[in-house]
């Protein structure tokens, strides 16, 4: 499978596959975010459950189905650990302070800009003028959605401003791990080696935090439901993070990152249909703007 990805790298077929992978990552990432924010448990406990499932399900794959990392490949993996830890902590803090449909658009709206800059600094990738226009349109739609939510939301008003700052910081952390992951996966002989071990070693921290939090809880969530949440979240997370990392191996990091941010559209739909958060015609229009920005980025390349 790794040989197939390597054969497609830099080709037109690889570009098309990267686009499909990035859009798949967008849908799955929105689902993963809703699972962490959902009503079953607080964001720390739910993320801990997801990470326990990540390690349990991925370790056999890493040990027996993909080549082991060698030499500097281990350092590329280790460097991703603090980036992912900061991302997960910031996201949990933001989710603890505001509604999913407020936090998520700000995280995803600020992420693409930082990622495009990071890809330019680390790998020398550049965007055309049309693509920068598309980035602007997409960010305007995402941040407009966040502002609309901020004005009309009726809960968590007292913690809204800190949540928004945390969301911007989470967007920066998202850009850091995305750009570094793209850099690292291009320097790993088999891309699936990096992906598998990434899911193992970056998932060892949050279960510890979740365990201490669990011990202090007076009303604990049902353990069986928490296990189901963890397994479902890990499977979705595999699809979300794995597909976008493969997309960055096949094509430009910035383009994959921008296309992934159409996850905001999916997140708004999930917030409306699953989490019962309100969606109106103005938010629908902003979601259309987000999708239009992604199309301009893709067509302007």
Please report the DSSP string for 56-100 in residue order.
HHHHHHHHHTSPPP-THHHHHHHHHHHHHHHHHHHHHHHHTTS-H
Please say whether the beta carbons of 160 and 102 come within 8 A. yes
Q: Please give the Cα distance from 211 to 197 (Å, whole number).
A: 23
Q: Please give the Cα distance from 270 to 264 (Å, whole number).
A: 10
Distance of CA 230 to the CA centre of its chain: 16
Cα–Cα nearest to 37, from 29, 25, 47, 28: 47
The confidence score (pLDDT) of residue 247 equals 80
pTM of the predicted model, to two decimals?
Answer: 0.78
Q: What is the pLDDT of residues 136-167, one digit of tens each?
A: 887 787 777 777 767 776 655 667 778 788 88
The confidence score (pLDDT) of residue 161 equals 75
Q: Which residue has the higher pLDDT, 238 or 78?
A: 78
pLDDT at 40 over 60: no
Please say whether the beta carbons of 146 and 102 come within 8 A. yes
Confidence of residue 81 (pLDDT cuts 50, 70, 90): very high
Q: Please give the Cα distance from 29 to 291 (Å, whole number).
A: 16
Q: Please give the Cα distance from 273 to 101 (Å, whole number).
A: 12
Please say whether the beta carbons of 51 and 207 come within 8 A. yes
Q: What is the pLDDT of residues 195-223, one digit of tens each?
A: 999 999 999 999 999 899 888 887 777 78
The confidence score (pLDDT) of residue 211 equals 92
Spatial CB neighbours of 173, under 8 Å, sequence gap ≥ 6: 83, 86, 87, 90
Q: What is the DSSP letter of 187?
A: T
Q: Please give the Cα distance from 245 to 182 (Å, whole number).
A: 6
Q: Please give the Cα distance from 1 to 49 (Å, whole number).
A: 29
pLDDT at 111 over 90: no
How many Cβ atoms are within 10 Å of 150's Cβ, its own excluded?
A: 18
Q: List, in sequence order, the alpha helices (H) in the chain.
A: 2-8, 12-37, 43-64, 72-95, 100-123, 129-152, 160-185, 191-201, 206-216, 223-250, 253-260, 263-273, 281-299
Dihedral angle sign, alpha carbons of residues 47, 50, 52, 58: negative
Q: What is the DSSP letter of 220?
A: P
Q: Please give the Cα distance from 47 to 275 (Å, whole number).
A: 18
Burial 46-83 (b: 16+ CB within 10 A, else e): bbbbbbbbbbebbeebbeeebeebeeebeebbeebbeb
Cα–Cα nearest to 246, from 259, 232, 262, 264: 259
Q: Which residue has the higher pLDDT, 181 or 253?
A: 181
């Amino acid at each position: 499978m790794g040989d197939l990805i390597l054969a497609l790298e830099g080709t037109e077929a690889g570009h098309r596959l990267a686009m499909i992978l990035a859009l798949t990552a967008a849908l799955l990432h929105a689902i993963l975010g809703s699972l962490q924010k959902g009503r079953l448990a607080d964001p720390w406990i739910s993320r801990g459950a997801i990470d326990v499932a990540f390690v349990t399900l991925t370790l056999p794959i890493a040990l027996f189905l993909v080549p082991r990392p060698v030499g500097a490949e281990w350092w590329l993996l280790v460097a991703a650990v603090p980036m992912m830890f900061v991302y997960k902590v910031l996201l949990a803090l933001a989710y603890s302070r505001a509604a999913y449909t407020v936090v998520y658009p700000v995280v995803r709206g600020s992420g693409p800009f930082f990622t495009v800059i990071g890809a330019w600094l680390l790998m020398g990738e550049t965007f055309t003028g049309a693509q920068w226009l598309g980035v602007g349109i997409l960010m305007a739609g995402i941040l407009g959605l966040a502002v609309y939510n901020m004005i009309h939301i009726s809960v968590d008003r007292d913690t809204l401003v800190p949540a928004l700052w945390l969301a911007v910081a989470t967007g920066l952390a998202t850009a850091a791990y995305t750009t570094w992951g793209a850099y690292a996966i291009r320097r790993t002989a088999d891309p699936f080696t990096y992906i598998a071990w990434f899911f193992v070693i970056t998932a060892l921290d949050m279960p510890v935090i979740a365990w201490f939090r669990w011990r202090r809880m007076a009303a604990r969530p049902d353990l069986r439901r928490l296990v189901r949440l963890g397994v479902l979240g890990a499977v979705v997370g595999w699809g979300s993070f794995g597909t976008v990392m493969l997309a960055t191996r096949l094509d430009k990091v910035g383009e994959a990152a921008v296309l992934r941010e159409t996850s905001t559209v999916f997140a708004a739909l999930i917030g409306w249909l699953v989490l019962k958060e309100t969606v109106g015609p103005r938010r629908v229009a902003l979601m259309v703007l987000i999708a239009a920005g992604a199309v301009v980025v893709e067509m302007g390349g």
